[in-house]
Structure 1
Amino acid sequence: MSYFVYILQCADDTLYTGIATDISRRLKEHNSSEKGAKYTKSRRPVALVYSEAFPDRSSASRREYEIKKKMSRAEKLSLIGS
């Protein structure tokens, strides 16, 4: 099973980073249901702007941590090509 690290751009122009096994399902959850993240709930709609595939949860989690905690907003924008 592949894992994906993804970055969403929220309606208020903030960025949200997460990990999932099915990006399209997770994007639908962020935009419509109670299963979306608390952060994105008040910032809908959100759009997928970046994703990376990983072979296991461990490597995906490490990358998610790197993006969330070690990258500045400018570095994230550079990563997604904005």
Structure 2
Amino acid sequence: MSDDWYLYIVENRLGQWYTGITTDVERRIRQHSEGKGARALRGKAPLTLRFSQRVGTKSEAARLEYTVKRWAKQRKQQLVDGQTQLSS
């Protein structure tokens, strides 16, 4: 199994953002679009990938996911726009 974990943010058709982690961003977005995975995204396709970044190990990715999920959408927008960065 890969040690390369990614944090990603997708936007659904309602303009809502979802933050998750995975080892394969394209596969995970495809799963979400097919209604598999997070309940928060089911029935809300199409999905648009707004951000993805390699973040290291699974534990590092999970910690960052927890942090980013608590951020306001405005701060996530700053991350997407490159105005702020993820802290390791």
Normalising by the residue count of structure 1, what TM-score does the alignment of the two structures yield? 0.90
Normalising by the residue count of structure 2, what TM-score does the alignment of the two structures yield? 0.84
Structure 1: state its 5+ residue gaps: none
Structure 2: state its 5+ residue gaps: 83-88
Aligned length: 80
Report the structure, 1 or 2, having the larger helix content: 1
CA distance in 1, matches of 2:16, 2:48: 11
Shift of 1:36: 2.6
Shift of 1:54: 2.1
Shift of 1:77: 1.1
1:28-72 per-residue CA deviation (whole Å, 9 max, x = no partner) reads: 001114x23111112111111101112210100111011001x11
Runs of 4+ in 1 over 4 A off after TM superposition: none
* Aligned partner letter, 2:77: L
RMSD, matched Cα: 1.4
